[in-house]
Amino acid sequence: MLRRIAQELRRHAPFTALGALTGIIIMVIIVFGNVPTQISQTAFYTLHPIHVVLSALVTTAMYVKYRKAKIWAVILVGWTGSIGIATMSDAVIPYLGGALLHIEMDFHVPFIETSKMPVIGVEKWIVVNCAALLGIAIGYWKQTTKIPHSGHVLLSTWASLFYFTSFGTANWIPLLPFVFLFLFLAVWIPCCLSDIVYPLLLIKGEAALSTPDNNH
C-alpha cells in the first residue's frame, strides 16, 4: 500500500503543480485588479461546496467500486473522506500557511458554520453537508473517477487560494513563491488521500492493491 501511495503522489505532482500555477495567476489578477474581499469570499463559499461534491463523489465511487458495503458504511466513508479532507485542504492548510508566513488570518470551518452563505442566504453548514450527501449519492450510483478527480484538483487549488485572499491580509506579491508551495501542498496530499488512499485503506483484500491506475 505504501508503494501505491508513493506512486499516486508522484503521478499527481505535475498536474497539482499546474493547478497551483493557475492559482498564482488568479492571485496576481486579484491583487492588481484590487478585487474586493467580498468577491473572494463569495468565490470561496461557492468553490468549497463544489469541491466537497467532487471529493465525496470520487471517494464514494472508489470505495463502492472495489467493495460491497452497506449503505451506512458508504455514507460514512464518503462523508468523512470529503468533509474532513476538503476542510483540511481548503481551510486548515491555507490557515496554517498564513500563520507560518505571519499573515493575519481568520480561521473558518465551513461545515459547522451557522452564518449564511453569500448570495443564496442559506446557512453554510447546511450547504456544505448537503454537498457531501449529493456527491455520495452520485458516486454510489455511478462509479466514475477520472474526470471528477481532475476537476477536484483544480477546484481545491482555487478554493485554497480564495481562502488566502478572503481571510488573510498581506502584501501578496513578494509571498507568491510561498503561496505556490502551500497551494501545492494543500491539494497534493489531501486530494490524493481523499480520492485514492483513504477509500483504498478501507478496502480489504488484494483488490485494493491491484486496481488499475488509469481510472483516476
> Among all chains, which residue has been given the C-alpha cell 478585487?
35
Cα–Cα distance between 73 and 89 in angstroms, integer?
Answer: 23
C-alpha cell of 144?
466514475
CB 162, CB 40: distance < 8 Å: yes
pLDDT greater than 60 at residue 212: no
What does pTM read for this prediction?
A: 0.84
- In the chain, the amino acid numbered 80 is T
Instruction: Dig out the grid coordinates for 154 from the structure.
Output: 483544480
Average pLDDT of span 114-122: 92
Q: In which band, very low, low, confident or very high, does the pLDDT at 109 lie, cut at 50, 70 and 90? A: very high
Of the candidate ranges 18-27, 137-146, 166-175, the one whose mean pLDDT is the lowest: 137-146
> Could you give the CA distance from residue 163 to residue 44 in angstroms, rounded to a whole number?
6
